[in-house]
Chains A and B, each alone.
Chain A
Amino acid sequence: MNTFGLDTFGDVTHDAEGRPLTHAQTIRNLVDQGVLADQVGLDFFGIGEHHTPDMPLSAADVVLAAIAARTSRIHLGSAVTVLSSDDPVRVFQRFSTLNAVSEGRAEIILGRGSSVDSFPLFGYDLADYEDLFEEKTQLFAELVKGGPVTWQGKTRSSLHEQEVVPFTEPFPTWIGVGGSPQSVVRAASHGFSLMLAIIGGHPGRFAPFSELYLHALEKFGRSPLPIGIHSPGHVAATDEQAREEFWPHYLDVITRLGRTRGFATPTPESYAHEVGPHGALFVGSPETVAEKMARTMKTLRASRFDLKYGIGGLSHESLMRTIELYGTQVVPRVHDLLA
């Protein structure tokens, strides 16, 4: 079955005059956005952990719990949880609690962290980037199995026959992969689903990752698990409107992030390419976005698509329109195209 969701990094939203709202108001608005996502029939709402003034969603699970209290159907999760700089035991406890509160609607997407602000904040060394993720993912895999955990490693104190509470229904664990083949193999080895984060370039270039994942699952004797896609986008009534609304904020955000992460500064040409059929931005009318989603899901053998909406600087009202169009017009079209 194909499922569809929305992800947000909780960027500070602006008012109609383009002034930034407070962090508190941004977070309250986010709860309303999650509730609307449920009302328009979406399957998943995810919040990506960030720790910067323009992305203040550092405690996503608390916001998810608030959304859980006002919804009954939609699944709620992280997109992603930066496991490398967190304690796997604590992460497991928080999401198990969310799972209890939401009556089994929690999901978790683990990531190494493309935004690495959490490393200095919590006292981790970026030089340990791979080792931290490797070890903590392994511990998390033990925790989600349920039952007493015995574990030993370098990154936290060891556990001996430790009961980690609360006990709840099992919930899906995904690994978010931005381009590391090791992470693909790691997801398969632990029996975690694969979430491909495609934020630039031709989505089709990820096809070998899907094949690698499916092969690895088989090799490790795992039963089939879903492949998902996370990509940025924006939906409006027409292609032109969507592209115009998105462009200034995309330019601003990518230019700023590029300074520390090595993204090239977008140009009108590179933007036209990314929103076109061979790029990674799902920006356009419901028809355009649906067609591109269906094609990409087929190419990558994916059964889940999470649109990352809400780039910084757009207004709450504009984001509510995107959510409504995505839920009521885009997703039904993709269902039809894939049927």
Chain B
Amino acid sequence: MQIAVLGAGHVGPVIARLALAAGYPVAIAGSGDPARIEMITEFLAPGAVPRSAADAVQDADLVVLAIPWHRFGTLEPAMFAGKVVIDAMNHWPPADAPSGTSEEVARRLAGAHVVKTLNHIAYQDMEPPGGRAIGLAGDEAVEVVAEFLARIGFDPVPVGPLTSGRLLEPGTPLFGVVAGRPEFEKFARELS
């Protein structure tokens, strides 16, 4: 399974490293020319291939969105059709929106299978994953993403359909929680 990580900032290289360590081929894209992130990739995610976002997504089975929320609108939605997409973005400061941000992502990326996860753990807590519980919310492709998360070292805990992604957003009791499965499931049950 080919992984495309969009974002070469705080989070992207960490996820790329975890995926590489689990044996996945990984392409990584920043904004614009891939030459701009060559050095970053060489030192922070050696083994990943810097590519343009369009090229990386085209060849990927699984796409991870690890870009700032305010850049999401710059992505060309058509290229995500049929792809499994992990939405690891957060709205800062927390949005007071009626629907969750991943629902917005799914609406814009029509035809993509969007799963919200990897957004609620700080990047500095991702390495090593150490079997830490991680929530995921989605309507489709949840199993594919759960398998990916398990292989890179997390303990995936489904919390419901994509509308339940709100449970994982900033300001919720699950956000930023470094916990094992029982504690995480207990929180999730209390919230849903």
Q: A123 at interface (Cβ–Cβ under 8 A)?
A: no
Q: Which residues of B contact A16 (CB under 8 A)?
A: none
Q: A129-B68, A182-B40, A262-B90 are in contact. Are A200 and B124 (CB under 8 A)?
A: yes
Closest to A200 in B: B124
Interface of B is mostly: loop
Residue A224 at the chain B interface, CB threshold 8 Å: no
Contact of B44 among A208, A264, A270 (CB under 8 A): A208
**A-side interface mostly:** helix
B161-172 near A? 1/0 per residue, CB < 8 Å: 000000000110
- A208 contacts across to B, CB distance below 8 A: 43-44
Tell yes or no: B148 within 8 A of A by CB: no
The size bracket of the interface on A is 20 to 34
* Nearest opposing residue in chain B for A207, CB measure: B43
B8 interfacial contact with A, CB 8 Å: yes
The distance in angstroms between the C-alpha atoms of A184 and B101, with both chains bound, is: 30
B122 to A182, Cβ gap below 8 A? no
- B122 near A212 (CB under 8 angstroms)? no
- Interface size in chain B (residues, C-beta < 8 A): 26
Instruction: List residues of chain A with CB within 8 A of the CB of B187.
Output: none
Interface-side segment among B54-62, B78-86, B175-183 = B175-183
- B10 near A265: Cβ-Cβ < 8 Å: no
On whether the beta carbons of B92 and A200 are closer than 8 Å, the reply is: no
A126 at the interface (CB under 8 A from B): yes
Chain B residue nearest to A259 in the complex (CB): B171
14 new A-B contacts, CB < 8 A, other than A201-B122, A208-B44, A260-B92, are A127-B70, A129-B68, A130-B68, A179-B9, A180-B9, A181-B8, A181-B9, A181-B13, A182-B40, A212-B43, A259-B171, A262-B92, A264-B122, A264-B125
